[in-house]
Structure 1
Amino acid sequence: MFGFTNLPCSLYDLPAVETWLAEQERKGKRFVGFSGAQDAKFEDGEPRNEVYRLEPSDGNRRPDPEQEELFRAAGWEYRAASFHDDLWVFRACRPDPVPIHTDPETQAIACRQLQKRLVRRTVPYVLLLAVLGALNVWLWGRQTAGLAELVERPYPLLNTAYWLVYVLFFGGIAVADLLPLGRLVRSLKAGIPMEHTVRRRCHRRYWRWAFLAVVAVYLGAGLCTLRQYEYAALSAGDCAGKYVTMETLGMDNGGYGPEGHYQRSVLGEIWNVREGEPVREDTEYGYTTRWPVFTRLYRLRFSAMASPLLTELRQNADAMADGVQLTDTGLDESWYARTDDGQSILLQDGGAVLYMRVSGEAEDLRDHLQDFAAVLQG
């Protein structure tokens, strides 16, 4: 009966694979061949003490008849070729086989050729993955309005995370193949004969566990993003403490109390609060509704995002690009702007960012910095 077993290490860790194949024979598993780059095929049999050797191939599926006859005369029979036909596997067919290699430097030449072949095949693939990943990030950046939109809808982060995981995993597999082969080439060039019985270095197994761990984190982040997203309307009571009221600014709300909506995502919380009698305005795109007081308050999970967010809002918000920076406010950063139809203020303290736009006659917003500080510090 046949069965498949995962390689416990990189296929290109030649001494480790030779040792592992011999161990399987002692367990009664007779080597038949490889299945893909990570599995070996065995058939059940009697436990035996067998000796295996992995030899860099010339790129063909098996040695030509003349080569095969030379190996057999030295006491080695051909068993199988590895994935991509990079390696030939030989098994001793008599108790006293002649060593395939006696000169480490000659063996280094064959292993160096194998190393070059592996680099030519894997590096372009890894570079392609990196380019595709970078292109994905670039396209996401082009399609996303900015950091403010990302805080509101952080789903593009999952797609970017997917590409990063993909590139890192397959790049790691390539490195795990090249490292042991590089060590072997260096030792052979130094004249040190290759050991054929070694303790296995389970790079492949470690990378699999690492990949599973990263996938678990990725899926967990996705579930966290989906579960934590929330959008809800705000009542007057919900708005309390999330903005500076018209009454505080010496204005009359005309009986139009605060309302708005609340958003929450994995990156933070956003309150949008408006107060006063709405005014319908005609624009080139149609009608729009404008409130005398509009406040947007961000509470970010990562404080490092606050300063870039403030910079983005200052560039995009009405009149704030021409605003002046306030000093000695006790806050991390403060900006103020006045126009013909009102005032705007943009503040940041820790992970909280507040933008407020006021239309009509109101007290100077700079006179209420303590009130704004109380809102930011929540």
Structure 2
Amino acid sequence: MKKRFFMPDTYWETGLLEQWLEEQAAQGWLPVSFAGYSSGKFEKAEPQILRFRLEPNQPESFAAREERENAYRDMGWRFAANLGEYRVYYCGDQDAAELHTDPAAQSWAWETLLRKLRRNSCISMALLAVWTVLQFRSIWEKGIPVETFLYGMWGIWLFVLWYFTRSLVQNLRALRGIRAVGRRLKAGIPLEHGGDLKSSLRRRKWGEAASWAAIALLVLFTVSIAGGASSMDLEEAPVERPWVAMAALDPETADLEMDWAQYRENRNLLVPFCCQMEQWRWEFGPWMRADFDRTVLPVFAKALYEERLNTRIKARPNDVVEILEDPRFDGAAVVTGRDSDGGRNIQMFVAYKNKAVVCQAIRMDADLRDHLDDFAAILAEFQ
């Protein structure tokens, strides 16, 4: 029978790993293989008292390694498995000589490994920092970071920040431990055997539990985002609609047959309710789109309002921007222009009140400023 066990979380403390292996052997479990520095696979055997020692896995020729292995066997030590950058040896003779008795020779044997571990930790932190920056940069470059954040990426960002912080702390802790081992060996002090095994294993288990919990929450979050979205024909949309209907803006245009008329709705933790309506006719015919969002905090509504206004201004720099001073809104603006041939009116109204934001854009012969009462009523009703 084989079973996998979590390892101590301080892979640079070889004495602690040796103590852990000895306790496993005393319980009747012998090592078979290891998954990096996270866990090991063990095979059931008779409980026995064994000594374990870890040696750096040095780059050497086959002949040199075979000669060293033969010398270790003559001393009573047997090879068990590779554990990351270490080779694991065990011995059943409690009186057998240690693999290393000279601290200076031991320091020389460990010098290359310690340099490699330090280099790996530094590279890991550098790559982690670059990866984290790229995650945020790719989202920010979309041009609508507030909307992207509110519509679901906040969960991804939190996961990225958690993973970055956790990995950074682990790497800094490893660097400090590796340097302490190096200073000890340079001072001619032999490496200690043993340590606070219970605390190390407890940290490992809590760390693994936190990782799996974070992954589970991320999966649930992704599923909830997908499950909270729905799409339907505009005719099937709810009766209470947070926008000014095309029939109210231009009855003649509303009588035309539209080639597209869709309604989409979404719900998530930061935006409990948001919907989007779009209808248009081919060949540069009439077009209308409306977005409504009810956020959990007024600060989110204000940020979303400002982003949508600024995005419109950036996309159409020649349009006329009118900031409305109306006490019924916490912020409101109208952006007016003409289509490419200078004919049809193109206009957008955007406003927010408390936690709600409404944004409606049209391409038709109508003026959204004539319906400020309707927009104020929408924001008051859908808080």
Q: TM-score, normalised by structure 2?
A: 0.69
Structure 2 distance, partners of 1:88, 1:24, is: 17
Most deviating of 339-348 and 7-16: 339-348
**Residues 242 and 297 of structure 1 are in contact (CA less than 8 Å); yes or no, is this contact kept in structure 2?**
yes
Give the match's secondary structure for 1:296: strand
Give the match's secondary structure for 1:47: coil
Counterpart for residue 352 of structure 1:
356
2:308 to 308, 313, 318: 313
1:46 aligns with 2:46: yes
Classify 1:279/1:205 alpha carbon distance in 2 versus 1 (closer, same or farther; 3 Å).
closer
Give the match's secondary structure for 1:231: strand
1:261 to 255, 260, 263: 263
Structure 1 distance, partners of 2:22, 2:277, is: 72
Structure 1 distance, partners of 2:90, 2:42, is: 14
1:114 aligns with 2:117: no
**Residues 292 and 357 of structure 2 are in contact (CA less than 8 Å); yes or no, is this contact kept in structure 1?**
yes
**Residues 229 and 264 of structure 1 are in contact (CA less than 8 Å); yes or no, is this contact kept in structure 2?**
yes
Structure 2 distance, partners of 1:18, 1:207, is: 21
**Residues 147 and 304 of structure 2 are in contact (CA less than 8 Å); yes or no, is this contact kept in structure 1?**
no
**Gaps in structure 1 of 5+ consecutive residues:** none
Counterpart for residue 94 of structure 1:
93
Give the match's secondary structure for 2:285: strand
**Residues 320 and 336 of structure 2 are in contact (CA less than 8 Å); yes or no, is this contact kept in structure 1?**
no
Residues 16-35 of structure 1 mapped to structure 2, 5 A cutoff: 16-31=16-31, 33-35=32-34
Structure 1 residue 343 displacement after superposition: 6.0
**Residues 237 and 263 of structure 2 are in contact (CA less than 8 Å); yes or no, is this contact kept in structure 1?**
no
1:8 aligns with 2:2: no
**Residues 343 and 357 of structure 1 are in contact (CA less than 8 Å); yes or no, is this contact kept in structure 2?**
yes
**Residues 133 and 160 of structure 1 are in contact (CA less than 8 Å); yes or no, is this contact kept in structure 2?**
no
**Residues 234 and 261 of structure 1 are in contact (CA less than 8 Å); yes or no, is this contact kept in structure 2?**
yes
Classify 1:362/1:212 alpha carbon distance in 2 versus 1 (closer, same or farther; 3 Å).
closer
Give the match's secondary structure for 1:82: strand
Structure 2 distance, partners of 1:167, 1:148, is: 22
Q: TM-score, normalised by structure 1?
A: 0.69
Q: Which amino acid aligns with 1:115?
A: L
1:223 aligns with 2:223: yes
**Residues 233 and 261 of structure 1 are in contact (CA less than 8 Å); yes or no, is this contact kept in structure 2?**
yes
Structure 1 distance, partners of 2:145, 2:222, is: 19
Q: CA RMSD in A?
A: 4.8
Structure 2 distance, partners of 1:299, 1:345, is: 17
Structure 2 distance, partners of 1:111, 1:146, is: 52
**Residues 118 and 178 of structure 2 are in contact (CA less than 8 Å); yes or no, is this contact kept in structure 1?**
no
**Residues 16 and 195 of structure 2 are in contact (CA less than 8 Å); yes or no, is this contact kept in structure 1?**
yes
Q: Which amino acid aligns with 2:23?
A: E
Give the match's secondary structure for 1:238: coil
Classify 1:302/1:233 alpha carbon distance in 2 versus 1 (closer, same or farther; 3 Å).
farther
Count residues with an aligned counterpart. 358
1:323 to 321, 328, 331: 321
Classify 1:161/1:363 alpha carbon distance in 2 versus 1 (closer, same or farther; 3 Å).
closer
**Residues 107 and 185 of structure 2 are in contact (CA less than 8 Å); yes or no, is this contact kept in structure 1?**
yes
Structure 1 residue 195 displacement after superposition: 3.1
Counterpart for residue 258 of structure 2:
none
**Residues 250 and 366 of structure 2 are in contact (CA less than 8 Å); yes or no, is this contact kept in structure 1?**
no
**Gaps in structure 2 of 5+ consecutive residues:** 256-260, 339-344
Give the match's secondary structure for 2:194: coil
Residues 170-209 of structure 1 mapped to structure 2, 5 A cutoff: 180-185=177-182, 194-200=191-197, 201-202=200-201, 203-209=203-209
Structure 1 distance, partners of 2:321, 2:2, is: 73
Q: Which amino acid aligns with 2:306?
A: T
* Deviation readout 1:250-297 (Å, 9 max, x if unpaired): x7746959x9624214364444468xxx9968xxxx333236xx6432
Counterpart for residue 288 of structure 1:
285
Q: Which amino acid aligns with 1:25?
A: A
Structure 1 residue 18 displacement after superposition: 0.7
**Residues 22 and 49 of structure 1 are in contact (CA less than 8 Å); yes or no, is this contact kept in structure 2?**
yes
Structure 1 residue 323 displacement after superposition: 1.1
Classify 1:328/1:99 alpha carbon distance in 2 versus 1 (closer, same or farther; 3 Å).
farther
Structure 2 distance, partners of 1:246, 1:89, is: 76
**Residues 9 and 204 of structure 1 are in contact (CA less than 8 Å); yes or no, is this contact kept in structure 2?**
yes
Counterpart for residue 298 of structure 1:
293
**Residues 5 and 42 of structure 2 are in contact (CA less than 8 Å); yes or no, is this contact kept in structure 1?**
no
Aligned-pair identity (%): 21
Structure 2 distance, partners of 1:279, 1:48, is: 80
